[in-house]
Amino acid sequence: MPTRLLLIPAIACLAFAIACTTGGDPDAAPSPTPSPSAAALFRDLDPAFDSDRAMAHAEVLAVDIGSRPAGSAEELAAADYIRAELASYGYEA
């Protein structure tokens, strides 16, 4: 009698294990959707790096605004500068 009582949970565990398997062709995994290439993503952007423009931004942040401790007026000025620059590129704040 105890063997019969153990047989029911064993069959249930076996059925559960079989149900958890994929059962399909392991080589038939779905192929990922191809993502656009970097060239396609950045095709509309100006590809030339302008070191003078980068230095101008660094100078404004490092020299004109200077050190920016948290909560200071300089931190707010730097945030306003960056927000204005990004808005000039078409981003919304």
Residues constituting the chain: 93
pTM for the full model?
Answer: 0.48
Where residue 47 falls among pLDDT bands split at 50, 70, 90? low
Q: What value does the mean pLDDT take over residues 37-45?
A: 66
Residue type, 79: A
Can you state the percent helix, strand and coil of the chain, rounding each to 5?
Answer: 60, 0, 40
- Domain ranges in the chain? 50-93
Residue type, 87: A
Does 93 score more than 90 pLDDT? no
Nearest residue to 64 via CA among 80, 50, 86, 49: 80
Does 42 score more than 70 pLDDT? no
Q: What is the rounded CA–CA span in Å between residue 15 and residue 26?
A: 21
* pLDDT attached to residue 28: 65
